[in-house]
Structure formats: C-alpha cells, structure tokens
Amino acid sequence: MEYRNLGSSSLKVSAIGLGTWGLGGPPFWEERDEGKAIATIQRAIDLGVNFIDTAPIYGFGRAEEIIGKAIAGRREKVILATKCGLRWKAESLGEMYRSLNPASIYEELENSLRRLNTSYIDLYQIHWPDPQTPLEHSMVALVMLQAMGKIREIGVSNFDVELIEKASGYSKIASLQSKYNVLEREIESDLLPYCRGHEIGVLAYSPLASGLLTGKYDQSHKFTDWRGKKNFGLFRDELFAPAMGKIQKMKDAMSNKPYTLIDCSLQWLLGREGVSSALVGVNSAEQMETNIKALELEIPIEAVDILDNIYKSS
C-alpha cells in the first residue's frame, strides 16, 4: 500500500481509503448485513488501508457504529475521519437539516466519539456549508475541540475556494473532500489548483462515479437506491446516457487487456497531483481487494491516457 501526506497536516493516509456511505444502508442505499460490513472493514485494514472516512448521516449513525465495532482493539492502526453539519430530526430524507452552530458541533462530536468507540477523531470535517451559521463561529468551535485533543486535524467537504480561504483564516485546513473521477472533473477548474498551491490534501469521493466506472452496468440498468431517483450527478437523465456511452468506449479499449476499467480509473485519479486518497465505497472484502490490486499493476501510461482522450472526445 502506498501512503501519502494529507496536505501539510500530521496525517499520512493510504492512497486507497475506505468510504463508508454505502455501509450505512438506508435511506440512501439498500440494507447492509452488519457482519459482512465489519468483515469488509477488517479486511481493508489487513490489506494496509489505514484511512476510514465516514459521517453521522451515513445510515443515521449506523456506519459509525459499524466502524466502532470493526476497529475494536485496532484503533491505533487506522486514521478515522468523520464529519459534522448534517443532522436529522427523524430517520428520513425529509427530516435532514444543516447545522454548524457551535453547540451542534459539540453534540455531534460527542455522539461520533461514542458510536466510533474512541476518545479522539483524527480528521474532523465540515460536511456541507451551513448558510445560517457564520463560518467563523463554526471554526472557533473546531479550533477549541482541537485544543482539547478531541480532534487532531480539521478538514472541509464540498467547499468552494472562497469558503476554504475564509476557513483558513481561523485554522490550518488539512484537506478538502470533493467528488472527483475521470468523468466528473469540476474540481480541476479552481479547487484542485488552489489546494495544490496551499498544501491542502484532496480526498476524492466517488472515484468510480458511484459504481459506473466499475463497468458492470449498462444504460438499461434499473437502480433501486438513490441512483434510481435520477436527480443527482451523472444519474440525471440528461447526463446518464452520454456518460454510459463514454464508459462503453472505455470498456472496449480495455478488452483483452490484463487490466480493467477500474484499474485504469483509479490509477488515473491517483496520478493527479494533489490527490491524497481515493475514497472507494465497497460492499465486500472482495471488492476492496479488487480496488487495492489496481495500485499494484504496471499499466502503460498510454492506457491511462485513453480515458482522457475518450472523456474529451465528445
């Protein structure tokens, strides 16, 4: 496993990190078997994955609870990242809300520590901006928690450059978590260059485009989770067909090769300057093993460049 500095922070994270949105199950995903989820996390650690990313909203606390069980007795082997700012009044999509006021942050952190069965969080991230709370109030609260030793580093997620600059006025920002993959590259216009220039590590979520870059789906597939609602990202009606057309071309280019679309997609992403870790979401230990093997293959640079060429072709 390759390990990379997370910006200029004190953390060194595995190039492949474990994203646990899916392990939380409903309301975004289908129900998950807890035993299988725990085994998946433990296998990832055995394979050298030291970075686990989660959030309270993933399964309304279930993902954090599963992680807490999985890392029992192995806390020193992992870098735990969780988040604050997305809360819920009841366990349904319509009852979620944003809150980054200090009292809410303190309460969220204590809940996360309890569910994760740990005394500290390595990377505590603002999940989404909260327009109702002045950012300086949120940052002061995070800095206080850091001074108390309850969090080691502060990160942000889904921030734009302006918000990162403002947050950096109150504390060093270790990382930005943002969507980034070979098909979704909005981050390249300003966020990625900014983070590189300011030594802020980039944590890429959805590195395989929520499963599309695994190559196992076609245009006729009917998704039964959040992807089937067709209201977000590449799953919107106007984007899905063009994306699947490019993916088919990519799959064709990989046919009869000793590497796959997954392999090339992950190597492409981890080859982008500034990316510290690709946060892969998996449902089994076998899927985790497949993703990690992508780092071990010697893939010609020309093969990885094919993805760029197809992306730019139409």
**DSSP string across the chain:** --EEE-TTSS-EEESEEEE-TGGG-TTTS----HHHHHHHHHHHHHTT--EEE--TTTTTTHHHHHHHHHTTT-GGG-EEEEEESEEESSSSGGGEEE---HHHHHHHHHHHHHHHT-S-EEEEEE-S--TTS-HHHHHHHHHHHHHTTSEEEEEEES--HHHHHHHHTTS---EEEEE--SS--GGGTTHHHHHHHTT-EEEEE-TTGGGGGGT---TT----SGGGG--SGGGSHHHHHHHHHHHHHHHHHHTTSSS-HHHHHHHHHHTSTTEEEEEEE-SSHHHHHHHHHHHHS---HHHHHHHHHHHHH-
Q: What is the pLDDT of residue 143?
A: 98
The structure tokens listed for 141 are: 């609260």
Lowest mean pLDDT among 74-83, 86-95, 141-150, 270-279: 86-95
* C-alpha pair distances (Å), 155 with each of 101, 168, 216: 17, 10, 33
pLDDT class of 314 with cuts at 50, 70, 90: low
- Rounded distance between C-alpha atoms, residue 37 and residue 259, angstroms: 27
- Tell me the C-alpha distance between 107 and 22, whole Å: 24
pLDDT at 142: 98
- Residues in a beta bridge with 16: 278
- Catalytic site residue 58? yes
The pair of structure tokens assigned to 1 is 């496993």
- Rounded to 5°, angle at Cα 73 from 70 and 78: 65
- Non-local (6+) Cβ contacts of 28 within 8 A are 21, 22, 58, 225, 226
- Exactly one of 3, 58, 120, 180 is catalytic; name it: 58
pLDDT at residue 90 above 90?
no
Q: What is the pLDDT of residue 303?
A: 84
> What mean pLDDT comes out for the span 40-62?
96
Predicted pLDDT at 228: 86
Q: Is the pLDDT reported for residue 210 higher than 80?
A: yes
Q: What is the pLDDT of residue 203?
A: 98
Cα–Cα distances in angstroms (integers) from residue 143 to residues 42, 153, 170, in the given order = 32, 9, 8
Where do the structural domains in the chain lie, given as residue ranges? 3-211+274-283
Q: Which two tokens stand for residue 149?
A: 């030793």
CA distance 108 to 289: 33
Tally the C-alpha atoms within 13 A of residue 198's C-alpha that lie toward its C-beta.
Answer: 20
% of residues, the chain, pLDDT over 90: 76
Span 123-141, mean pLDDT? 96
**Confidence class for position 295, pLDDT limits 50, 70, 90:** confident
Residue-wise pLDDT for 219-229, tens only, equals 888 888 888 88
Q: How far is CA 126 from CA 55, 149, 150, 173, 176, in A?
A: 10, 18, 15, 11, 10
Question: CATH number of the domain at 3-211+274-283, please?
Answer: 3.20.20.100
Cis, peptide link before residue 27, omega less than 30° from 0: yes
Tens of pLDDT, residues 149-174: 999 999 999 999 999 999 999 999 99
Instruction: Give the pLDDT confidence score for residue 133 in this predicted structure.
Output: 96
